[in-house]
C-alpha cells in the first residue's frame, strides 16, 4: 500500500521530493508538509521512507511477508553505512530486526575517474568494440571467458 506522511513529524525539508523516482512526493502548498500526490502511482520502492530524516513517511506492507496490521520500519544510517529494518507483527510478540551494509567504503570517494583514462585511438574508434570494454567480455580474444579462467571467484553480497 502506498506511502503516507505523519504530518506532525514532517518539517517539509524536501528530501522525499528529491528522491522519489515517480515524482509523486510533493510539498503541500499551504501546510508545507510532504504528501503523496498520486498514491496509485506509488510502487513502494521505499526510497522516500529511507531518505526521510524524521521517519515521517510510512508504508503499510503487503500481507505477503507479514500478516496485515504489522509495522515495517526502516532506518538508513549513511554515516555508519548500514540500513536497519524492524518488522513487528500486530500481536507485538514477533519483533524482527535486520541489519545490512549499504556501502563498504566512504561515500563519493570511489567514483571511477573516466576523464583520466587514456583517449581511444583512431583504430579503437573504428572498431566495433565498446570503449574501455573489459577484457572478460572480449569473445574474439581467447574464446569464452569464465570466472575460473580469469582467476575470479563469485562472492555473495555487496562488494566493490
The C-alpha angle with vertex 87 and arms to 2 and 17, in degrees rounded to 5, equals: 35
Handedness of CA 29, 30, 31, 36 (dihedral sign): negative
Candidates 6-14, 118-126, 136-144, 146-154: pick the segment binding another protein (CB under 8 A).
6-14
Nearer to another protein, 84 or 124 (CB): 84
Which residues make Cβ contacts (< 8 Å) with residue 72, sequence separation at least 6?
59, 61, 65, 66, 85, 86, 87, 88
Residue 18 binds another protein (CB under 8 A): yes
* Distance from C-alpha of 84 to C-alpha of 15, rounded to nearest angstrom: 19
Closer by beta carbon to another protein, 107 or else 131: 107
Size of the site for another protein (CB under 8 A): 48
Tell me the pairing of strands 82-88 and 71-77: antiparallel
Of 2, 19, 22, 46, which lies in the binding site for another protein, with binding defined by CB under 8 A? 19
Binding-site member from 79, 116, 123, 128 for another protein (CB under 8 A): 79
Is 106 among the residues that bind another protein (CB under 8 A)? yes
94 binds another protein (CB under 8 A): no
Amino acid at each position: 500500500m502506498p506511502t503516507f506522511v505523519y504530518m506532525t513529524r514532517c518539517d517539509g525539508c524536501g528530501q522525499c521530493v528529491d528522491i522519489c523516482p515517480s515524482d509523486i512526493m510533493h510539498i503541500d502548498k499551504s501546510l508545507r508538509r510532504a504528501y503523496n500526490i498520486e498514491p496509485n502511482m506509488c510502487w513502494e520502492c521505499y526510497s522516500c521512507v529511507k531518505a526521510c530524516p524524521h521517519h515521517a513517511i510510512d508504508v503499510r506492507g503487503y500481507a505477503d511477508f507479514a500478516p496485515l496490521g504489522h509495522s515495517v520500519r526502516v532506518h538508513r544510517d549513511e554515516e555508519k553505512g548500514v540500513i536497519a529494518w524492524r518488522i513487528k507483527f500486530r500481536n507485538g510478540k514477533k519483533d524482527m530486526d535486520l541489519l545490512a551494509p549499504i556501502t563498504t567504503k566512504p561515500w563519493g570517494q570511489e567514483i571511477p575517474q573516466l576523464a583520466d583514462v587514456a583517449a581511444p585511438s583512431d583504430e579503437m574508434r573504428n572498431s566495433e568494440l565498446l570503449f574501455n570494454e573489459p577484457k572478460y567480455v572480449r569473445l574474439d580474444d581467447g574464446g569464452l571467458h569464465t570466472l575460473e579462467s580469469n582467476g575470479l571467484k563469485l562472492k555473495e553480497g555487496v562488494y566493490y
